Chain A
Amino acid sequence: MQRFSIVSLARNALTGHKDWPRYWRSPKPKAEYDAVIVGGGGHGLATAYYLAKEHGVTNIAVLEKGWLGGGNTGRNTTIVRSNYLWDESAHLYEHSLKLFEGLSQELNYNVMLSQRGVLNLAHNLGDVREGIRRVNANRLNGVDAEWLGPAQVQEFCPIVSISPSMRYPVMGATLQRRAGVARHDAVAWGFARGADALGVDIIQNCEVTGFDIREGRVRGLRTNQGDIATGKVGIVAAGHNSVLCEMAGVRLPIQSHPLQALVSEPIKPVHPCVVMSNAVHVYVSQSDKGELVMGAGIDSFNSYAQRGSFPVIEHQMAAVLELFPIFSRLRMLRTWGGIVDVCPDASPIIGRLPVEGLYLNGGWGTGGFKATPGSGHVFAHTIAREAPHPLAAPFAFERFTSGALIDEHGAAAVAH
């Protein structure tokens, strides 16, 4: 793997950048792999990377039906944080945040993790109560968390209005300083490049169309590039997990919804952090290029269309303008949508499915980008050892039968 650095950049500048190698090969699928990961999003690529790197499983392939990173990894609002309410979630997301903190160096690829702090605003007494509950839980779980009063909120983010006469006044906020944003595409590309260098075959434009399952065991899968034999399949196909699992005869507690996001025209930096508000479904940050990146709440209906309805974001913008009155004359440049796989408890499913050799890592809903390295890390362990990573164990598929749900709705309504 060609090391990236300012030195290599300068050297290549001299030769007109003619000699940069490919980030990843473009292999044809082999007839057989030790394991196959379905879905070339951040989570799938991270899974492959850690399988190769930490478990020495290198005869593996990542199959991606489109272009790698083109799913939700390529269309999310890039918020990275770990201040979840329940212990199980906090541990998992904190594991991921720690991996994020060293990821640029680990991958030799700058994922531009920007730990500028995330505010979660409280607008009523219920929000305040839940916010404080979360701050307390986070601290005891080793996750940095603070409770800010309105004046402190404004100090941290001067453009937020804290006028008490607002329809939804700011009554305080939780702050996680280590939280922030990262360059979403770079995460996918960095993991892909790293995995490729370890020998992983990343096969794009390769859609899985069926499974070969005999005697309750996975033997292989069918794709539009031919059949592939393998005894282990990890499904990491956000937006299509239900479709894939249906091919394997497994029904999931997942519904796929559009989730929309939008960016403004780039402006000079005005917004120093990330602001989220559950009550009004708002989350806003400003990218390093200058656009304001904002997300909406999910569209109510099931859809695989990667687009939603305009009123959803109109509603959102009205709320944004109350919080950020100076945005009114700015302009929305582009809107888009992703397909989020939502579980009833707003927590992911990580682990075995009722078909032997078949594993699922999905249902991250509206908030899995932040988990990318951690999710890949624990899922690789789960597949390689054929036993759940301790941090993944509570997220097993079986929880829907036992009732041990990890319900992050209550306190984390907008789970980004």
Chain B
Amino acid sequence: MTGFRLAQGGRIDRSRPLSFTFAGRAYRGFAGDTLASALIANDALLVGRSFKYHRPRGIYAAGAEEPNALMQLGVGERTEPNARATQVELYDGLTANAVNAWPSLEWDLGALTGLASGLFVAGFYYKTFMWPPAFWNKVYEPAIRRMAGLGTAPREADPDLYDKVHVHADVLVAGGGPAGLAAALAAAQAGADVLIADEQAELGGSLLSARATLDGWLRATLEELRGMPNVRLLPRTTVFGYYDQNYLCLLERRTDHLGPAAPAGISRQRLWHVRARQVVLATGAHERPLVFAGNDRPGVMLAGAVSTYINRYAVVPGKRAVVFTTNDGGYRTALDLAAAGAQVLAVVDPRPESAGDLPAQAHAQGIEILNGHAVVAASGGKRLDSVSVAKLGGGAARGVVCDLLAVSGGWSPVVHLFSQSQGKLRWDEAKHCFVPGTVTQAQRSAGAANGSFALGAALAEGFAAGAEAAKDAGFGGWRAPEPPEVDDPREAPPLALWQVPGAEGRGKAFVDFQNDVTASDLKLAAREGFESVEHLKRYTTTGMATDQGKTSNVNALAILSDATGRSIPATGTTTFRAPYTPVTYGAMAGRDRGDRLDPIRVTPIHPWHVARGAVFEDVGQWKRPWYYPQGGEDMHAAVRREAKAVRTSLGVLDASTLGKIDVRGPDAAEFLDRIYTNGFRKLGTGRCRYGLMCRDDGMVFDDGVTTRLADDHFFMTTTTGGAARVLEWLEEWLQTEWPHMKVYLTSVTEQWATVSFAGPRAGDVLRELSPALAVDEESFPFLSMREGVVAGLPARIFRISFTGEASYEVNVPSHHGLALWQAVMAAGEKHGITPYGTEAMHVLRAEKGFIIVGQETDGTVTPLDLGMDWIVSKQKDFLGKRSFARPDTSRADRKQLVGLLPADPAEVLPEGAQLVWDAAESPIRMVGHVTSSYWSPNLGRGFALALVKGGRDHHGKTILAPLAGKTVEARIVAPNFLDEGGKPLHG
């Protein structure tokens, strides 16, 4: 037994014991423990295996920077890979397992790779596995993949909820240590709305880990902050991303710490989007490891972490400890260890002397201080058993038997968010660390994050930053209170020791623990030419693990700078990127799951379609009835029946989804003339006209029917999918190119419900429903509109047709849509009225050769290609016209719209079939493709529309569609099958 729990002290709640399991064994801890502290209390320091060599690894840190202690939490649908034990709050019933060990943590077969570790240096895989070539896919890569990954993904969908909020703050404070709390207090007292977030369960930061603390101040401050209505305290909340214009994203873990006791219906995690006027970054500092042989043995731990375990969690990670430190901070750990009853065998300090107050205290307590010495190696298998200490600059190493080595290589301010905000770092030569330099957003750093490591300085900076932030947010005129008194010890300057000399040849010295990158890997990379820090990172994978190099990056770049003879600032850092710590995907999706992923839009008639058993098609966000199967019909049978009904008696379609735009103003007609390929100026009032719109590159963009309601007033319809796009497009031209034109546009898509009934009996129905309306050819000709009353409802009635049949589109305000539909159904009953869906509509329009934008067109098709010259004005200019004259657009052999009749009438070509003249040719030349293809119950055969190179010149010829397994012959015809079939049009 080495690690142990102190009988008193710490912030754990000894009255609430908790049980948990790790690697199949049952343990106990207390409320207030992290999984890591509870494991240490149970002397279960071996917690994982490293990524590449499967080396035994122990808990190394106490916070977000932990590289080793990754856990598979829970089982089943709620299992979670790669959780950092140092950030997992213990709850009753927690189960955890190591992530990268098989068959067990103790006996991991993967460790065999360690035997051949001489081969597995940086970049080895690029240099091998190339012969024989066929082996890569079949043998090597599968083997590599088997070794991949850490934890395992759940197999089932996640049962938990996630949520998001968007809030605005005058001052956002990231980090709730003394600096952050001081900043929050100062800003809040000035009257600013303050949000303060800390990733830990409790606010207090390093104050929670120290023995001599400002306990009273912390309690009073938290109490004051909690009582202020303008302050939000967010524990368990990580500020993970800092984006443009002070937009920050936070992840709040709401119920993770409750485990199975989490209340149902409450989101597990919540993502905060915060726009802050001012930001204070008080994110503290991370301690750096020291690089020497065997520095990854379980039992080697960051000094600050050792202190945290002792003071905050009341667990001591070892009984016989050595401290290895390059700065005075390590002595604090030595004192903490001694106070906790551990034996401190020595403080190894490579500095020639230790002049500060803390070393003096250690000395006074009889702790041996080895100045000018270093630990050159640590040994032990699954647990540290001794360290070798040697004098710097040579001399024999002596072994010290110990079970804990606390190391401190200095501190790196947590500048992640600062860097994400595009701030520029500065290398501080005295403190040996990067500190915030040039600031680019409304932001300031304070405390250890700013390189001010002493508590007094951190507090003072925090108060000042908070007050200034409030002032800049518009809450000036308030003087920040004086920081509390602190008696910081005098400290001697730290030493920079990036790699312990004399450790070479004694074993692997790790820099990046999780990715198993050693100092010699880094040097090898530099030798091979990977001299940029970015190359180094990618070649060796240093800093790319789940901890993103929080403990390793500065050591790695310092070793590189040494190897390349450049200074550290000239070597530079890699890029800090969001997120600061990993963010659950579930939280990123929030509640936009299932049907909420994208709005489902429905028409006012939708409930009827549902009741009638319609099968729906997604058209953009709309649900449109695709077909209405009856009595076990399949789609084909239903569509045949529907399409037949329209031609023989009566069909009805919900066309409410069409885009509708009210166009008004003295220049409306002129405006439409510029937009549409055909003219609208001469359109009579009450008349309708079909129009095509092109982009200025001449390609078809949208189509629809526009009706003149008055001299200066038009009603435009667009495709369902194009509605929003077209309105935006029109506004763009009006506002930016033709601002002098007097035209107002108003979207009325949903103002109107549209019921379209078509077929030989359509007129009868209209006559019945609108007795006052003259429905004869003369009074109500094709392509005209009447206002009237239909089924007692005020309506606009359009006589237009997308099917080739006599057809009326009746528009009523959408709150009357269902009433109208029901009335039409009732009136049509005697004619066998048949509701039809989009599929039958497509068949009918294709029989007539009408195009669908997006089906016959794909952004590369002009009106001329479609054979729609009749709609392309020769007289006026319009958007896109100039482009028709470009060399490629005016080629004679462009793809042109044609009809196809398969030689075998029973054949229905697949849409998307490619067309060729000669299927034996090699390479085969494709000359077109099938855009639409259906079985027509009216023609009694399959037929298709297609785009074919120079197609208009080839009417009557046979073209081939080579399909998988067969080639289909088809005759090219004009794209209008009703006329070709000689059938009468009911116009």
Contacts and interface: CB of A to CB of B under 8 A. Distances in A.
Interface of A: 4-6, 8-10, 13-14, 16-18, 20-24, 26, 66-67, 69-70, 74, 87, 102, 104-105, 108-110, 112-115, 123-126, 129-137, 139-142, 167-168, 183, 185-186, 189-190, 204, 264-270, 286-290, 309-310, 313-314, 317-322, 325-336, 344, 399, 401-405, 407, 409-411
B107 to A, nearest CB: 19
B914 A137 contact: yes
Given A110-B129, A267-B151, A410-B860, 20 more contacts: A4-B127, A4-B128, A10-B119, A67-B534, A112-B126, A114-B137, A136-B914, A267-B82, A269-B148, A270-B152, A288-B144, A310-B578, A317-B585, A318-B593, A328-B162, A329-B160, A331-B582, A331-B585, A344-B697, A403-B886
Nearest to B621: A167
6 contacts: A5-B127, A26-B529, A189-B539, A318-B590, A321-B586, A322-B597
Contact of B133 (A13, A104, A264, A314): A104
Interface string B247-288: 101000000000000000000000101000000000000000
Given A268-B149, A328-B585, A335-B578, A310 B249 contact: yes
B141 A112 contact: yes
A257 to B, nearest CB: 15
Given A329-B584, A332-B582, A8 B127 contact: yes
B585 A320 contact: yes
A134 B926 CA distance: 12
A313 B119 contact: no
A382 to B, nearest CB: 21
B3 to A, nearest CB: 27
Contact of B583 (A123, A167, A318, A332): A332
Contacts of B709: none
Given A123-B618, A167-B598, A328-B589, A265 B150 contact: yes
A132 B929 CA distance: 11
B912 A130 contact: yes
Contacts of B575: 336
A289 B544 CA distance: 11
A267 B593 contact: no
B860 A140 contact: no
Most buried by A among B124, B698, B924: B124
A4 B126 contact: yes
B589 A314 contact: yes
Interface in B154-199: 154-158, 160, 162
A318 B577 contact: no
A80 to B, nearest CB: 13
Count chain B CB atoms within 10 A of each CB in A189, A313, A330 and give the residue with the most: A330
A403 B883 contact: yes
Contacts of A123: 618
B863 interface: no
Interface stretch (B351-359, B402-410, B520-528, B969-977): B520-528
Interface string B490-533: 00000000000000000000000000000010001001111110
A112 B593 contact: no
Nearest to A269: B145
A329 B80 contact: yes
Contacts of A108: 130
A139 B967 CA distance: 13
A131 to B, nearest CB: 7
A322 B241 CA distance: 24
Nearest to B619: A124
Contacts of B524: 17, 20
Contacts of B152: 267-268, 270
B929 A136 contact: yes
A22 B128 contact: no
Interface in B849-865: 854-855, 858-860
Q: Which one of B597, B887, B923 has the highest number of Cβ atoms from chain A below 10 Å of its Cβ?
A: B597
B809 to A, nearest CB: 23
B887 A403 contact: yes
A190 B125 CA distance: 13
Nearest to A142: B923
Contacts of B221: none
B151 to A, nearest CB: 6
B126 A189 contact: yes
Contacts of A10: 119
Given A168-B597, A265-B81, A185 B912 contact: no
A333 B592 CA distance: 21
Given A317-B588, A329-B586, A407-B859, A402 B578 contact: no
Given A133-B911, A318-B589, A267 B582 contact: no
B903 interface: no
A388 B528 CA distance: 37
A334 B579 contact: yes
Contacts of B148: 266, 268-269, 286-290
A410 to B, nearest CB: 4
Given A5-B127, A22-B529, A270-B153, A288 B133 contact: no
Contacts of A328: 154, 157-158, 160, 162, 584-586, 589
B761 to A, nearest CB: 30
Nearest to B157: A325
B589 A405 contact: no
A335 B579 contact: yes
Interface string B566-589: 000000000101110011111011
B860 A326 contact: no
Nearest to A268: B149
A318 B963 CA distance: 37
A124 B618 contact: yes
A113 B126 CA distance: 11
A320 B534 CA distance: 30
B807 to A, nearest CB: 23
A110 B125 contact: yes
A125 B619 CA distance: 9
Interface string B690-715: 00000001100000000000000000
Contact of B146 (A115, A136, A269, A310): A269
B535 A67 contact: yes
A280 B940 CA distance: 39
A268 B600 CA distance: 36
B136 A104 contact: yes
A74 B538 contact: yes
A26 B531 CA distance: 10
A132 B118 contact: no
A124 B720 CA distance: 15
Given A124-B618, A410-B860, A321 B589 contact: yes
B738 interface: no
A23 B249 CA distance: 41
B341 to A, nearest CB: 38
A136 B82 CA distance: 44
Which has the most chain B C-beta neighbours within 10 Å: A17, A22, A309?
A17
Contact of B532 (A139, A204, A288, A326): A204
Nearest to B80: A329
A116 to B, nearest CB: 8
B396 interface: no
B130 A110 contact: yes
B964 A333 contact: no
Contact of B158 (A16, A190, A329): A329
A327 B854 CA distance: 34
A354 to B, nearest CB: 17
A70 B539 CA distance: 12
Interface string B108-151: 00000000001101001111111101001100010011101111
The 8 A-B residue pairs whose C-beta atoms are closest, nearest first, are: A290-B149, A133-B912, A328-B158, A331-B582, A132-B912, A325-B157, A403-B886, A410-B858
B79 interface: yes
A326 B929 contact: no
A20 B154 CA distance: 43
A132 B910 contact: yes
A327 B585 contact: yes
A152 to B, nearest CB: 14
